[in-house]
Structure 1
Amino acid sequence: MRNLIVEMLHEQGYRVLQAEDGPQGLAILQSEQPVDLLLTDVGLPGLNGRQLADACATGGRI
């Protein structure tokens, strides 16, 4: 599903940053990369989607 969404967003001209799991997603949020939209799964390994969304809302802090 992730690959399909990434492909569709690329076709629309968006730049997409992907993560295999919660900790990789958190690393992206903590980087200097701007994030305009966060799409996540609830059942991510290592850090669930809710925790990742909360970290996004607090500037990448857990």
Structure 2
Amino acid sequence: MSDFFSGVVREMKKVSWPKRKELSRYTVIVVATVAIMSVFFAVVDLGISELIRLVLE
């Protein structure tokens, strides 16, 4: 078990972590993408719901 955790620590020291500016940029990109996709799927859902409502009436 200790060999596993010492290996994990060794590998984590090799990781190239992003700088604060890069991390901020990536965070903004992810949040914007999620927001755009949420709006897109909400509009598609609304359109399909209205279409089904028209067909059933």
TM-score, normalisation: structure 2:
0.24
Which fold has the larger relative contact order, with Cα–Cα distance below 8 Å and residues 6 or more apart in sequence? 1
Q: Highest CA radius of gyration, 1 or 2?
A: 2
**When you count helix as a share of all residues, which structure comes out higher?**
2
